[in-house]
Amino acid sequence: MSGFSRDDAVDRVEAILETVDSEPLPVPVREVWIYGDLALGLDPVDRLDVYLTKDILMRDEPKAEAEFEESHGVKGVGKSVRAEWARAHPEHLRANANGHAAPEKCLAAQLLADDEPVHLEVCNARFEDNVTQRLRGARLREDYTQLLDPRGVCLWSDGVRSDDALEKVRNSELAFPTLSGALEMLGMDDAEAQEAAEAVHAWRGEQAGATVRGDVL
């Protein structure tokens, strides 16, 4: 897929919200945000950017780990992702390079199709907190592709959907500055903000299909 019409992008977000609201998930999800093109009111939406705030699963069903390591070759089920979810959705079980169940990859497998232009960010921290953390890290590493676009809208929090926010997104009623302008508001000077925004746009333009990133703060 090359992108979404605006209406299709909002419909796609609503489908994600419905899944989060009604189906078992690999880890508890507390918030769903959208940011980037859809939040800005663009039409078409080249890529749909979604942010999930999740809880870290500490101890769910540790005894299930051996079960899934034997049956699926994946470690950590019952510790990092729910065992009950893995039994219900074994087709969505995903592991990281070390063979451990990866919550962000499991969420992406359940929520997204491989070929659709959607980027999913998954973190235990709230969107605003991660924006600040990623900004700090990007500046320290001089790698602006690590930035998280701060222009976001919360559509779902602790089981409650914000129909008002969703309607404003659908009708392009929200006003945001340019990315460089938003980064200046976060403390960058004009030259750095312009450089950072160009790096983010270039990186984003190189992405294809469904992509996912997981953070733990």
| Whether 52 contacts 32, CB under 8 Å | yes
Residue with tokens 């009604």: 22
Per the confidence metrics, is the pTM higher than 0.85? yes
Give dist(CA 61, CA 58) in Å, integer.
10
pLDDT in tens, 27-46: 999 999 999 999 999 999 99
pLDDT in tens, 187-196: 999 999 999 9
- pLDDT of residue 70 exceeding 90, the answer is no
| Alpha-carbon torsion (35, 38, 42, 45), positive or negative | positive
Is the backbone peptide bond immediately before 44 cis, with ω within 30 degrees of 0? yes
- Asked if the structure places residue 82 within a domain, the reply is no
- pLDDT of residue 1 exceeding 60, the answer is no
Q: Residue 156: which domain range?
A: 6-55+113-215
- Asked if the structure places residue 105 within a domain, the reply is no
- Asked if the structure places residue 151 within a domain, the reply is yes
- Asked if the structure places residue 104 within a domain, the reply is no
Structure tokens at 59: 């101890």
pLDDT band at 66 (very low <50, low <70, confident <90, very high): confident
For 174, counting Cβ atoms within 10 Å of its Cβ (0-12 exposed, 13-18 middle, 19+ buried), the class is middle
- In the predicted model, what is the mean pLDDT of residues 162-189? 94
Structure tokens at 150: 């701060």
Mean pLDDT rounded to a whole number for the chain: 93
| Whether 56 contacts 136, CB under 8 Å | no
- pLDDT of residue 18 exceeding 90, the answer is yes
Q: How many domains does the chain have?
A: 1
The pLDDT of residue 123: 96
Give dist(CA 118, CA 107) in Å, integer.
13
What is the DSSP-derived secondary structure letter of residue 169?
Answer: H
- Asked if the structure places residue 98 within a domain, the reply is no
The pLDDT of residue 62: 73
